[in-house]
Amino acid sequence: MFGIGKKAAPERKESAVGRVVAWGGSGRVAWSGRDTGSMTRAGFIGNPVGFRAVKLIAEAAAALPLIVQDRRRRYDEHPLMSLVERPNPAQGRAELFEALYGQLLLSGDGYVEAVGGEAPAELHVLRSDRMRLVPGADGWPVAYEYAVGARKVRFAVEDGISPICHVRSFHPQNDHYGLSPMQAAGQAVDVHNAASRWSKALLDNAARPSGAIVYSGADGQGAMSPEQYERLAAEMEAHHQGARNAGRPMLLEGGLDWKPMGFSPSDMEFQKTKEAAAREIAVAFGVPPMLLGMPGDATYANYQEAHRAFYRLTVLPLAQKVCAALSHWLAERTGEAVELRPDLDRVPALAAERDAQWRRVSEAAFLTDAEKRRMLGLPVE
């Protein structure tokens, strides 16, 4: 019989792509996570540029004066305005909208819950990282699930009316969730944070690059004993590391010699890299770097021009989008076609532009009064 007296060698099995995967994963840059929680910690909680950009936009947009109107009139008093002014017992209008804008900027999605019947009695902003959209067979959402730990709350969409107003930023590759500026600025956030950690490490190590202690032994050669090595490491850590030991002289004996290694901070120019990363973060959010106090920025002629561009290009488009989504969502619930919108005539940063527009429209004799009102965003009575 074949094989008697011989033991067959075990067959070695391995993935055909194992070597390719191992090669492709080596030497890659270590980026932080791109989920909402990781980006919020790295780009908002742990980064001053991202924190200030989000706060600047959210607070400016939340402070915009709002009006309620329909096609025929502008309301001085309306249930919708009362709801927005005091959306729930714990928040006012500014707090609610600041939270909503902040969620949009950090995650690309904002969720508002309506509490009550067809006419909501309260509005609450829900955290985006806890919300999950449940799509139906046709791709449209049939429910929203809000999870806190092991507990879940399901908000069902019934008869096309949703208890959740979902506002999302444009995402070219996702049908249900938005793309946030924080995600777009993710690489710049990592570079900025890494540069900050590098600066801190330099300060902790007497603000100079590392070096090497060369041991040649008493007779010019040899190696240190384990006891000598442990003693040297302990003395270096205790007496020559950290800002408090900066400039402290080093006493070397027994064949020890210090050899400085690496580049100086000026050679590495990491400060310029950090400033470039900060500008990229500001660009992703649409905030002129001048408003964030970045040195050397000359994009705008002066602060007033930068401030006006900030409102015109960043704050107003975001506020108008959110107000339009809330108006449409609430109109579906109440059946009353009213519009919630920012009052541009009461925005100080746009005062010069609005004055010029009013002047041009009022002097246009070929326009009717109704056409002039439409051009100025006023209801036509």
Whether 296 is in a domain gets the answer yes
pLDDT recorded at residue 262: 59
| Tens digit of each residue's pLDDT (9 = 90 or more) over 261-317 | 555 555 556 778 888 999 999 999 999 988 888 876 666 667 888 888 999 999 999
Confidence of residue 331 (pLDDT cuts 50, 70, 90): confident
Question: What is the pLDDT confidence band of residue 369, given thresholds at 50, 70 and 90?
Answer: confident
Residue 11: C-alpha distances to residues 7, 8, 14, 154 (Å): 12, 9, 10, 52
The predicted pLDDT at position 15 comes to 52
Mark whether 255 and 357 lie in a shared domain: no
The reply to whether 310 and 334 lie within a common domain is yes
Paired tokens of 227: 């006891």
Handedness of CA 111, 115, 117, 120 (dihedral sign): negative
- Asked if residue 3 belongs to a domain, the reply is no
Domain coverage including residue 83: 29-203+269-342
Quote the number of domains for the chain.
3
Position 193 in a domain:
yes
Identify whether residues 118 and 254 lie together within a single domain: no
Q: What percent of the chain has pLDDT over 70?
A: 76
Evaluate whether 68 touches 326 at the Cβ level (below 8 Å): no
Tokens of 17: 């792509």
318 in the same domain as 302: yes
Question: Which percentage of the chain shows pLDDT scores above 90?
Answer: 40
Considering the domain architecture, whether residues 42 and 167 belong to the same structural domain is answered as yes
Residue 86 shares a structural domain with residue 198: yes
* 109-116 sheet: strands from edge to edge: 120-126, 109-116, 164-168
Per-residue confidence (pLDDT) for residue 58, from 0 to 100? 97
What's the rounded Cα separation, in Å, for the pair 148 and 26? Answer: 37
Give mean pLDDT, residues 179-207. 84
Are 160 and 248 in a shared domain?
no
18 has pLDDT over 60: no
The reply to whether 22 falls in a domain is no
Residues 115 and 171 in one domain: yes
Q: Is the pLDDT of residue 131 over 70?
A: yes
Do 226 and 81 lie in a common domain? no
67 and 173 fall within a common domain: yes
User: At residue 147, what are phi and psi to the nearest 5 degrees?
Assistant: -115, 130
Say if 312 falls within a structural domain: yes
In a domain, 146, yes or no: yes
Looking at per-residue confidence, does 54 or 215 come out higher?
54
On whether both 254 and 373 belong to a single domain, the answer is no
Assess contact for 179 and 34: CB atoms under 8 A. Answer: no
Question: Is residue 11, in this structure, part of any structural domain at all?
Answer: no
Q: Does residue 151 fall inside a structural domain?
A: yes
- On the question of pLDDT at 375 being above 80, the answer is no
Give the per-residue pLDDT at 25. Answer: 43
* pLDDT value at residue 180: 94
Confidence of residue 37 (pLDDT cuts 50, 70, 90): confident
**Total Cβ atoms within 10 A of residue 15:** 8
Whether residues 292 and 319 fall in one domain: yes
Model pLDDT, residue 201: 76
Give residue 237's Cα distance to chain centre: 38
Using pLDDT thresholds of 50, 70 and 90, give the confidence band for residue 61. Answer: very high
